[in-house]
Amino acid sequence: MNKTEKIQGILDRTDKLDYIIHEKHHELAEEHNLTLEQYHLILYINRQQTPRTVGELAVIFRNAQNTMSEKIIRIEEKGLITKIKDERDKRINKVVITPLGVELIQSIRRKAGGEFIINAINTLTIEEIDTYYDVLGKLIDFLNYI
């Protein structure tokens, strides 16, 4: 295999690794009685610096406003998100994640991205771990530089 083929192989394997981890997130979300849409919605809400309205979320997720409203209600019933009144216009409700929602996301990430990956990495030899660590460091340094 030449260098170009190996680089493509690395990209393919990186995509496969991302896919496996992503699927593990979905599996864990389902264990917590969340649909994939609900899980992606609370992830999105959690990442926002500024809370969004139901209408804004409907546009972002390409849903009708009434459909998004129903989704919000279902997640709200689980205690993972809540609606708060807009400070400037009390008629407007913004959707925010609750501490329970943050805790759930952290738990899923810890299990899927932490425990799951740690268990996989623990199957490697110390030499393989050292090489992987060094190579990832070089890639990160390069990508931060460009």
Contacts of 52 (CB under 8 A, 6+ apart): 45, 60, 94, 95
Q: Which of 27-31, 113-117, 126-130 has the highest mean pLDDT?
A: 126-130
Q: Return the structure tokens found at 107.
A: 């738990």
Backbone phi, psi, residue 90, to 5°: -65, -10
68 contacts 57 by C-beta, under 8 angstroms:
yes
In whole angstroms, what is the distance from residue 43 CA to residue 17 CA? 20
Q: Choose which CATH entry (1.10.1040.10, 1.10.10.10, 1.10.490.10, 3.40.47.10) describes domain 3-145.
A: 1.10.10.10
pTM of the full structure: 0.74
Residue-wise pLDDT for 84-125, tens only, equals 998 888 888 999 999 999 999 999 988 887 788 888 899 999
Q: Where are the beta strands (DSSP E) in the chain?
A: 52-53, 81-85, 93-97
